[in-house]
Amino acid sequence: MSAACALAEAGYRVQLVERRGYLGGRASSYLHPGVNEVIDNCQHVLFGCCTNLLSFYGRIGVEKKIHWTSEMTMIEPGGRRSQLGPSSWLPAPLHGTPKLLSSTAFTTADKLALARAFQAMMKPIPLDTTESLADWLRRHKQTPGAIERFWRLVIASALNADLDAIAVPYAAKVIRELFMNSARAGAMGMSSVPLSELYGSAKGFLEERGATVHFNTNVESAEWDEAVAQWSIHTRTGTLVSEFLVIALPFEAMQKLLPHMPPAAHGEELARQVDAFTHWPICSVHLWFDRPITDLPHAVLLDREIHWMYNKSVLQPWRRHRGSYLELVQSASRAFAARDRNQAIDQALAELSEFFPQVKEAKLEKAALIKEVRATFGVPPGIDNARPTARSPWPNCFLAGDWIATGWPSTMESAARSGHIAADELCALSGDTRTFLAPDLKPQGLMKILAVSS
């Protein structure tokens, strides 16, 4: 979508081909028949540092539909709360320090360990290091409290993988962007409308610029005709032709398409790269109660299998549910993903009542469990060797999608960034000097002089 919208803005006649009947891909919403509500396939969060996603939102006119917050409430079982977030009187990277120091979620030993680790993450980390985050944390003498309540809960869940399956440079990127570079970079955003409505705005933007959106159209193969310099894209419902092609598929769909692409010099290398990727699941439990449970818009829940609570009644007030609608998210949990619906919902409810005792009094009106087993790709050490650039092995063809070489983990920012990179490459090939890749936010405060390059 980001490539299509950028290129339509640049004056190209774009055709967007989508297998499903709606836009949004892995970030979408639908009418869930079991609960008769439009729900997101999972809460999606973005941050101030997601410059390409925000520039894409600006392009399609939905930037005002994001609810922003700088506060993160951590709750311990039993209900004790700590607040993390910036303090305006201290420059970056110290802006988060006062609240971290006053947090009861961490012991003094945990806080000292975290300070040591943050300092170490400021130093350049070789991109090709083979050390996993788990080993790095052991080497930097992280305490069990810091590991469980910060590294596993906040960082591993942001990267959606176990600590021993995370490359250190990706963890460092999250730490620097969310906690060190500036308060603005670390601000957290959540859509105030269902995700398909948010991303559906791309359709209007494209059509106003003469583009066509083909829904329910599965691309099955593509051929390049050198004589006329033209692609023929074969779908189940017919063939489309074009001068340029941007393939913005998830890695497993690319894997399926590859044998049906023309032979190319580096085609096998791309196939080897795609094979190196693995999926990690994310589950979400959606609960509707007959009464309010909490005023908090969202919270981090400590020491249990449910990790994040999003209060959709607060985040999406137009829902006007007289009670409350909460969404609970479990990241990187293969064990939770293996549970059946009733087990998962019962467990989520039992755990939730440890944080919010009101749950015990409230009546659960309806519930849904969504398992996304192919939610994101993992970022283990060495993954960067498998991330291809936007230049494909074929003529006039570019790759996009969150898994290509953007330097970002599997996120909406990586997807938007990849689309802008592909659009830039395509423009450059056709002699157009326009560029769409948005620059990163500049570090603020002391980070201006302390900024690291990797």
Ligand X SMILES: Cc1cc2nc3c(=O)[nH]c(=O)nc-3n(C[C@H](O)[C@H](O)[C@H](O)COP(=O)(O)OP(=O)(O)OC[C@H]3O[C@@H](n4cnc5c(N)ncnc54)[C@H](O)[C@@H]3O)c2cc1C
Q: Using CB under 6 A as the criterion, which residues of the chain lie in contact with ligand X when the complex forms? A: 17-20, 25-27, 41-42, 44-46, 218-219, 248-250, 253, 282, 372, 375-376, 401-402, 410-413, 415
Shorter beta-carbon distance to ligand X: residue 325 or 408? 408
Q: Which two tokens stand for residue 40?
A: 């997101």
Name the pairing type of β-strands 245-247 and 397-399.
Answer: parallel
The number of angstroms, rounded, from the C-alpha of 112 to the middle of its chain's C-alpha atoms is 30
Q: Which two tokens stand for residue 83?
A: 């607040």
Q: Which two tokens stand for residue 372?
A: 């996304």
Q: How far apart are alpha carbons 420 and 436 in whole angstroms?
A: 5
Shorter beta-carbon distance to ligand X: residue 114 or 202? 202
Q: How far is the CB of 383 from ligand X (least distance, A)?
A: 14
Backbone angles phi, psi at 104, to 5 degrees: -85, -5
> Which residue type does 282 have?
I
CB-closest chain residue to ligand X: 25
Q: Is 445 exposed, middle or buried (0-12, 13-18, 19+ CB in 10 A)?
A: middle
Is residue 442 classed as helix, strand or coil in its secondary structure? coil
Shorter beta-carbon distance to ligand X: residue 117 or 222? 222
Is residue 357 classed as helix, strand or coil in its secondary structure? coil
Shorter beta-carbon distance to ligand X: residue 59 or 111? 59
Q: How far is the CB of 139 from ligand X (least distance, A)?
A: 29
Q: How far is the CB of 369 from ligand X (least distance, A)?
A: 12
Q: How far is the CB of 422 from ligand X (least distance, A)?
A: 11
Shorter beta-carbon distance to ligand X: residue 235 or 353? 235
Q: How far is the CB of 449 from ligand X (least distance, A)?
A: 30
Q: How far is the CB of 226 from ligand X (least distance, A)?
A: 24
Shorter beta-carbon distance to ligand X: residue 83 or 235? 235
The answer to whether the CB of 130 falls within 8 A of the CB of 382 is yes
Q: How far apart are alpha carbons 114 and 31 in whole angstroms?
A: 42
Shorter beta-carbon distance to ligand X: residue 182 or 330? 330
The answer to whether the CB of 334 falls within 8 A of the CB of 156 is no
Q: How far is the CB of 401 from ligand X (least distance, A)?
A: 4
Q: How far apart are alpha carbons 352 and 305 in whole angstroms?
A: 10
Shorter beta-carbon distance to ligand X: residue 182 or 376? 376
Is residue 19 classed as helix, strand or coil in its secondary structure? coil
Q: How far is the CB of 45 from ligand X (least distance, A)?
A: 4
Separation in Å, CA 435 to CA 49, 231, 244, 402: 19, 24, 17, 19
The answer to whether the CB of 244 falls within 8 A of the CB of 414 is no
